[in-house]
Amino acid sequence: MQGPRDALAHAAAFLTRIPVPGGLVRGPLGPAMVAFPMVGAALGLAAGLVYGLASWLGLGPWPAALLALATPILLTGALHEDGLADTADGLGGGRNAERRLEIMRDSRTGAFGVLALILSVALRAGALAAIAPGWAAIGVLVAAGAWSRAVLPAVPRILPPARADGLGAGAGRPDERTTAIALGLGGVALLLGLGFGGGLIALAVSAAAVWALLVAARRTIGGYTGDIMGAAQQIAEIAVLLTAAAWLSERG
Say which amino acid occupies 136.
A
Q: What is the pLDDT of residue 181?
A: 96
Q: What is the pLDDT of residue 31?
A: 87
Structural contact between residues 230 and 87, judged by C-beta atoms closer than 8 angstroms: yes
Residue 229 lies in a domain: yes
Q: For residue 108, give the 3-state DSSP assignment.
A: coil
pLDDT, averaged in runs of 10, over the chain (252 residues):
78 91 71 95 98 96 97 97 96 89 90 96 97 93 98 95 72 88 97 95 97 97 95 98 90 61
Residue 133 lies in a domain: yes
Residue 10 lies in a domain: no
Dist CA 107 CA 150 (whole Å): 27
Q: What is the pLDDT of residue 6?
A: 83
Dist CA 86 CA 89 (whole Å): 5
Dist CA 60 CA 215 (whole Å): 39
Structural contact between residues 187 and 150, judged by C-beta atoms closer than 8 angstroms: yes
Structural contact between residues 246 and 131, judged by C-beta atoms closer than 8 angstroms: no
b or e along 153-191 (b: 16 or more beta carbons within 10 Å of the residue's beta carbon)? bbbbeebebbbeebebbebebbeeebbebbbebbbbbbb
For residue 161, the cross-strand partners are 224
Residue 20 lies in a domain: no
Neighbouring CB atoms inside 10 A of 92's CB total 16
Q: What is the pLDDT of residue 168?
A: 60
DSSP-assigned letters across all residues of 200-248: HHHHHHHHHHHHHHHHHHHHHHSSB-HHHHHHHHHHHHHHHHHHHHHHH
b or e along 194-212 (b: 16 or more beta carbons within 10 Å of the residue's beta carbon)? bbeebbebbbebbbebbee
User: Residue 72 is part of which domain span?
Assistant: 36-251
Residue 198 lies in a domain: yes
Q: What is the pLDDT of residue 5?
A: 77
Query: How many domains is the chain built from?
Result: 1
Q: What is the pLDDT of residue 251?
A: 66
Residue 21 lies in a domain: no
Dist CA 149 CA 181 (whole Å): 12
Output the CA torsion sign for 50, 84, 26, 190.
Answer: positive
Structural contact between residues 31 and 14, judged by C-beta atoms closer than 8 angstroms: no
Residue 3 lies in a domain: no
Structural contact between residues 197 and 112, judged by C-beta atoms closer than 8 angstroms: no
